[in-house]
Amino acid sequence: MRAFTALVLAGSVVLAGGCRRPVAPPEDASPSADGRLSVFVSIPPQAYFVERIAGERVRIEVLVPPGQSPATYEPTPTQMAALAGADALLRIGVPFENGLMARIGESMPGLNVVDTRTGVPLRSFSEHGAEDPHIWLAPRLVEIQAGTIADELARLDPAHADEYEANRAAFVRELDALHEELAAVLPEGATITVFHPSWGYFCDEFGLRQVAIEVGGKEPAPRRLQQMIEEARARQVSTVFVEPQFSSASAQAIAREIGAQVVSLDPLARDWADNLRDVAHKIADAAKSPPAAQRHSDAAAGRHVHGQARPAEDRGVLGRGQRGRDRLGARIVHFQERPRALRLTIDHRRQLHVRVIADEDVAHPDAHRTIADLPADRAWMDGS
Q: For the domain that residue 284 is a member of, what is the CATH number?
A: 3.40.50.1980
3-state secondary structure of 261: strand
Q: Is the residue at 28 inside a domain?
A: yes
Same domain, 224 and 279: yes
Look at residue 36 in the predicted model and tell me its pLDDT: 93
Same domain, 218 and 147: no
Look at residue 380 in the predicted model and tell me its pLDDT: 38
The H or E element spanning position 233 is helix 222-234
Domain boundaries, position 282: 187-289
Same domain, 173 and 208: no
> Do 320 and 338 contact (CB within 8 A), yes or no?
no
The domain tally of the chain equals 3
Closest CA to 146 of 163, 169, 162: 169
3-state secondary structure of 370: strand
Q: How far apart are CA 104 and CA 87, in angstroms?
A: 14
Q: Is the residue at 164 inside a domain?
A: yes
Same domain, 45 and 64: yes
Closest CA to 342 of 319, 326, 375, 308: 319
Of 265, 289, 313, which residue sits at a domain end?
289
DSSP secondary structure, 42-88, as one string: SSHHHHHHHHHHHGGGEEEEESS-TT--TTT----HHHHHHHTT-SE
Same domain, 173 and 198: no
Q: Is the residue at 118 inside a domain?
A: yes
Of 260, 289, 318, which residue sits at a domain end?
289
Give ∠ CA 150-152-153 in degrees, rounded to 5. Answer: 65
Q: Is the residue at 233 inside a domain?
A: yes
Q: How far apart are CA 163 and CA 147, in angstroms?
A: 13
Q: How far apart are CA 359 and CA 295, in angstroms?
A: 12
Look at residue 220 in the predicted model and tell me its pLDDT: 82
> Do 40 and 88 contact (CB within 8 A), yes or no?
yes
Q: Is the residue at 254 inside a domain?
A: yes
Same domain, 284 and 343: no
Same domain, 16 and 162: yes
- Strand 351-356 and strand 239-242: the pairing is unpaired
Q: Name the DSSP class of 274.
A: H
Look at residue 104 in the predicted model and tell me its pLDDT: 96
The H or E element spanning position 356 is strand 351-356
Same domain, 251 and 336: no
Of 168, 183, 198, which residue sits at a domain end?
183
Q: Is the residue at 113 inside a domain?
A: yes
Question: pLDDT of the chain along its 384 residues, tens only?
Answer: 433 333 333 333 333 333 343 444 444 444 556 789 999 999 999 999 999 999 999 999 999 999 899 999 999 999 999 999 999 999 999 999 999 999 999 999 999 999 999 999 999 986 666 899 999 999 999 999 999 999 999 999 999 999 999 999 999 999 999 999 999 999 989 999 999 899 999 999 999 999 998 877 778 888 888 998 999 999 999 999 999 988 878 888 889 999 999 999 999 999 999 999 999 999 999 998 876 555 554 444 444 433 444 343 333 333 333 333 333 333 333 334 433 444 555 555 555 555 544 443 434 444 444 444 444 444 433 333
Same domain, 279 and 318: no
3-state helix, strand, coil in the chain (%, to 5): 40, 15, 45
> Do 322 and 330 contact (CB within 8 A), yes or no?
no
Q: Is the residue at 295 inside a domain?
A: no
Q: How far apart are CA 327 and CA 146, in angstroms?
A: 59
- Strand 351-356 and strand 341-346: the pairing is antiparallel
> Do 347 and 330 contact (CB within 8 A), yes or no?
yes
Same domain, 328 and 252: no
Q: How far apart are CA 316 and CA 299, in angstroms?
A: 9
Q: Is the residue at 296 inside a domain?
A: no
Same domain, 28 and 165: yes
Look at residue 289 in the predicted model and tell me its pLDDT: 80
Helices 272-288 & 44-54 angle (0-180, nearest 10): 130
Look at residue 294 in the predicted model and tell me its pLDDT: 54
**What is the value of pTM for the model shown?**
0.69
DSSP secondary structure, 290-351, as one string: PPHHHHHHHHHHTTEETTEE-PPPS-HHHHTT-SEE-TTSPEEEEEE-SS-EEEEEE-TT-E
Task: Count each helix (H run) and each strand (E run) in the chain, helices first.
Answer: 12, 15
Same domain, 36 and 137: yes
DSSP secondary structure, 171-218, as one string: HHHHHHHHHHHHHHHS-TT-EEEESS---HHHHHHHT-EEEES-BTTB
